[in-house]
Amino acid sequence: MTSHSINSPQFFLTAPSACPYLPGEDERKVFTHLVGPKARELNDLLTQGGFRRSQNIAYRPACETCRACVSVRILANEFTPRKTMRRVSAANSDLVATDYPAEPSSEQFTLFRRYLDSRHRAGGMADMTIGDYAMMVEDTHVSSRVIEYRLRAPGDGVAEAPTGRLIAVALTDVMSDGLSMVYSFFDPSEARRSLGTYMILDHIQRAQAEGLPHVYLGYWVKGSPKMDYKTRFLPQEHLLAQGWKRFES
């Protein structure tokens, strides 16, 4: 595998393909490899410049006729949860969140498959095997963590690791200026808990505790209902042509 310097990464452009968010649009991506001793610094710079990470690849949209994908980051230090968000936190007060190195498990994959089969059966990840999942988690040259969310069980807090049922997982990169939520999934039968919202709230609290100013949420696409939730976490910034600008809802 070729190692690229942080000072001169090599970028490539994908062929056009159907956009998964906006009907009738095509998408293209520009990407580079995150490998070698400078991978972490390069990931920081590229994420701050609107890229996302998938395994050892950093990518961002490079569509010819569309600029709908907008990078979003929450201003963690200024964030105050709304009343509805406080209800979500209260509804999940029986969960235990544990931070681990980026290592996959069969238990995680079982939950991952249930999530995909329920929420993204026609998506690009629908055919992922346990080997594919393992690569998604552990094929990283940056500082990545897996956060597991389990129902609290008797003995938790005494045993080495929580033993309750696993109901949500987040794959997260730890950057110099924040946490980047690479991918998260949850038990689809626990819809009443709003686990997607809860994991974002938990990451905001983690960023605040670690003195990190941002939580990166990836792309927001105006006009795509599946992306609307991202703009609820205010204050936040959007990456525009002029740089990061505060978003007003």
Q: Are residues 39 and 83 in the same domain?
A: no
For residue 146, being part of any structural domain is answered with: yes
Residue 4 lies in a domain: no
Residue 7 covered by a domain: no
Shared-domain flag, residues 131 and 89: yes
Last residue of a domain, one of 68, 89, 106: 68
Q: What is the pTM of this model?
A: 0.91
State the pLDDT at residue 5: 47
Q: How many domains does the chain have?
A: 2
Residues 154 and 170 in one domain: yes
Q: Are residues 147 and 54 in the same domain?
A: no
Q: Are residues 205 and 183 in the same domain?
A: yes
| b/e code 231-247 from CB counts within 10 Å (16+ = b) | bebeebbbbeeeebeeb
CB 77 within 8 A of CB 210: no
Asked, for residue 3, whether it belongs to a domain, the answer is no
pLDDT at position 34, please? Answer: 95
Q: What is the pLDDT of residue 2?
A: 43
CA distances from 18 to 23, 89, 228 (A): 8, 37, 21
Specify the pairing of strand 236-240 against strand 214-221: unpaired
Does the residue 150 lie in any domain? Answer: yes
Give one word for 20, left, alpha or beta, with left for phi > 0 and alpha for psi -120 to 50.
Answer: alpha
Supply the range of the domain harboring residue 149.
73-246
Strand partners, 13: 30
The pLDDT assigned to 234 comes to: 96
Q: Based on the fold, state whether residues 47 and 139 are members of the same structural domain.
A: no
My answer on whether 52 and 121 are in the same domain is: no
| Backbone region of residue 205 per phi and psi (left: phi > 0; alpha: psi in -120 to 50; beta: other values) | alpha
What pLDDT score was predicted for residue 64?
86
pLDDT at residue 159, rounded to an integer? 58
Chunked into runs of 10 residues, the chain (249 residues) has average pLDDT values of 59 92 90 94 96 96 91 97 98 96 97 90 76 95 97 75 92 98 96 96 98 97 87 96 91
- If asked whether residues 147 and 26 sit together in one domain, one would say no
Q: Are strands 69-75 and 236-240 parallel, antiparallel or unpaired?
A: antiparallel
CATH code for the domain of 128: 3.40.630.30
- What pLDDT is attached to residue 154? 80
Q: How far apart are CA 216 and CA 184, in angstroms?
A: 13
Q: Look up residue 134 and give its two tokens.
A: 């393992």
User: Does residue 6 sit within a domain?
Assistant: no
Residue 2 lies in a domain: no
Q: Please report where in the chains the tokens 């998964």 appear, as a residue.
A: 20
Q: Are residues 99 and 137 in the same domain?
A: yes
Same domain, 119 and 236: yes
Q: Are residues 47 and 22 in the same domain?
A: yes
Are 204 and 82 contained in the same domain? Answer: yes
Q: What's the CA gap between 214 and 203, in Å, rounded? A: 10
